[in-house]
Structure 1
């Protein structure tokens, strides 16, 4: 079994291509980083819902673009749940507009970034951030998306 991706575009205004962009981006990240076997969930929500998740789980009372929640290891359960990603549709639109980037490119970047967090990548140190960003660049380049950090 390969990676299963369940996308719930709950945001009422989510664009029709949202699910396809997310799945394509995560599949590319999976191929570059593994691949891994398991299941992940992706929730696309509005700023209010993401703000509440951010407040509850990180103690930060404001919306953010993407949150990742890695699941605890449970090897005896099949398929293995790797975790969940929550993306703010509204923040993604605002950031894409502010950076003059196509919405789909920014959404793909956030999906890749969130997925890499589920695999254990982080940006807590400069070296870790550089490694994660390099991998993101490679994955996005495979999708024909320019370097998001070179803007």
Structure 2
């Protein structure tokens, strides 16, 4: 797979290295898709005000969230490699990692993988879809040497996936 990732950092927070972000996306796309062709993804890292605006506009939830994905709606017959856009809110990722007792790097990887899978059409609206998506996220992260993102420090499964 030939992957092009455009990363825009509009956050005042410290963020992961761009090579890490690219490797997390490549791992997700490689595990979840058989398409060896060219792929293009845009990632925008934002702070809470911008994420609040986007989440309000696109999901009618005027509060910040950890990650939003916007799959491309380019007609298939155009055969363009653009999968879509991922927006990640750095302050939310930081606070969630601390609340959940996870390393910041592991949570960033999870949110990036999660957003990438949404671009491929995976979702967690119903329980069956959520189980499939969570299993795939866990497999991708394990391949990166990272722990299951749905286990908390007391080793119980968390109640819900990122929304």
Q: Same fold (TM over 0.5)?
A: yes
Partner of 1:12: 12
Aligned-residue offset at 1:65: 0.2
Uncovered stretches (5+) of structure 2, i.e. residues with no partner: 153-163
Instruction: Please give the root-mean-square deviation of Cα atoms over the aligned residues, in Å.
Output: 1.5
Matches for 1:97-112 after TM superposition, within 5 Å: 97-112=98-113
Partner of 2:66: 65
Separation in 1, partners of 2:3, 2:74: 16
Comparing 110-119 with 65-74, greater Cα deviation is found at 65-74
Partner of 1:115: 116
CA shift digits 1:50-88 (9 cap, x unpaired)? 010001111110000000011113335454211100000
Q: Runs in 1 of length 4+ with deviation above 4 angstroms? A: none
SS of aligned partner of 1:3: strand
CA shift digits 1:93-121 (9 cap, x unpaired)? 00011112111100000000001001000
Contact 1:25 1:111 in 2 (8 A): yes
Separation in 2, partners of 1:134, 1:124: 15
Uncovered stretches (5+) of structure 1, i.e. residues with no partner: none
| Number of aligned residue pairs | 150
Separation in 1, partners of 2:39, 2:83: 6
Q: Work out whether 1:44 is the aligned partner of 2:58.
A: no
